[in-house]
Amino acid sequence: MILTETATDAYAPVGDAAPLDARSISAWFGERKVLDRVSLEMPAGTVTALIGPSGCGKSTFLRILNRMHELVPGATLAGEVLLAGSDIYDAERRLTEVRRQIGMVFQKPNPFPAMSIYENVTAGLKLTATRISRSERDDLVEQCLLRAGLWNEVRDRLRQPGGALSGGQQQRLCIARSLAVRPRVLLMDEPCSALDPTSTRRVEETIAELASQITIVIVTHNMQQAQRVSQQCAFFLAEQNTPGHIVEHGPTDQMFRRPRDPRTEDYVNGRFG
């Protein structure tokens, strides 16, 4: 994907990636502990892949990174999550501001079915009470769709329903919608698991384009995808009914070629999981 234009208005999405730092995160659902003292630094402007078998706490950890965990009845946590050095769980921190700065793309594409493609992209502006002019809004829609690799496919049907797009296009529309509020971090929970290979490739190209502008954290069960899109990996594991924890983390190439822990080597080579 090549960005063919650069918006000139002040509101156009720009690169403002921020580091994310999780410190000693433990999490519970009621009495059940699901994560145990997980610490991970996610540098600004890089892609961090979270890998590991199902049930080891990857998605729970991802949701903790933008305060979605607290929406689950009975869910609790301990530890800190720092965005550019500031704790997102600080009592003075507004939840809407946290969610604006740390966006989320889910496993299943979820465009608003009653809204047009154009309205889907701009939906977050209403939620964050952001007021911009019509021309700025038009430029924003174009730039977000360009960055999501979707503009050339939908530029002539912006007023058609977002739900009429293909699955892969819907996922890229959801990425564009996340970008419209100018997040500093983008979380992705298995964004390609329901997509065909062509759509997966296009989403991966979008991730590569965005990586220098936004800090990205992606959960994936696809080891080849983790190698293709990420600069660093963290391997989660929950053994014998113990809470999930990070076995090993580091540069992606090292994790796949020269892992320090034999459990990591077994997992990335498909011996379990």
pLDDT of 216-227, one tens digit each?
Answer: 999 999 999 999
**pLDDT band for position 125 (cuts 50, 70, 90):** confident
User: For 166-201, how does the pLDDT look when each residue is reduced to its tens digit (9 = 90+)?
Assistant: 999 999 999 999 999 899 999 999 999 988 898 899
Return the pLDDT at 234.
98
Residue 116's CB: how many other CB atoms inside 10 A? 18
Res. 71: pLDDT tops 60: yes
**Among 28-37, 194-203, 240-249, 254-263, which is the least confidently predicted range?**
194-203
H-helix or E-strand spanning residue 98: helix 95-101
User: Percentage of the chain surpassing pLDDT 90?
Assistant: 75
> Rounded to whole angstroms, how far apart are CA atoms 12 and 9?
6
Q: Average the pLDDT over 131-154 and give the result.
A: 92
- pLDDT at 3 (0 to 100): 36
pLDDT at 15: 56
**Which residue type does 174 have?**
C
- Given this model, what pLDDT does residue 130 score? 79
Mean pLDDT, rounded, for 251-273: 93
Checking if the pLDDT of 2 tops 60, the result is no
> pTM for the whole thing?
0.90
What is the DSSP-derived secondary structure letter of residue 202?
Answer: H
pLDDT reported for residue 6? 36
pLDDT score at 128: 74
Q: Provide the strand spans (E) within 30-147.
A: 32-42, 47-51, 75-83, 86-87, 102-105
pLDDT tops 90 at residue 19: yes
Distance CA 82, CA 29 (A): 22
Superfamily holding 20-109+184-268: P-loop containing nucleotide triphosphate hydrolases (3.40.50.300)
Segment 21-33 shows an average pLDDT of 96
**Residue 25: strand, helix, or coil:** strand
Query: Is 147:3 a contact under the CB 8 Å cutoff?
Result: yes
The mean predicted confidence, pLDDT, of the chain is 90
Q: Where are the domains of the chain?
A: 20-109+184-268
Residues above pLDDT 70, as percent of the chain: 94
Name the DSSP class of 71: G
What's phi and psi for 13, nearest 5 deg? -60, 130
- The secondary structure of residue 69, as a DSSP letter, is G
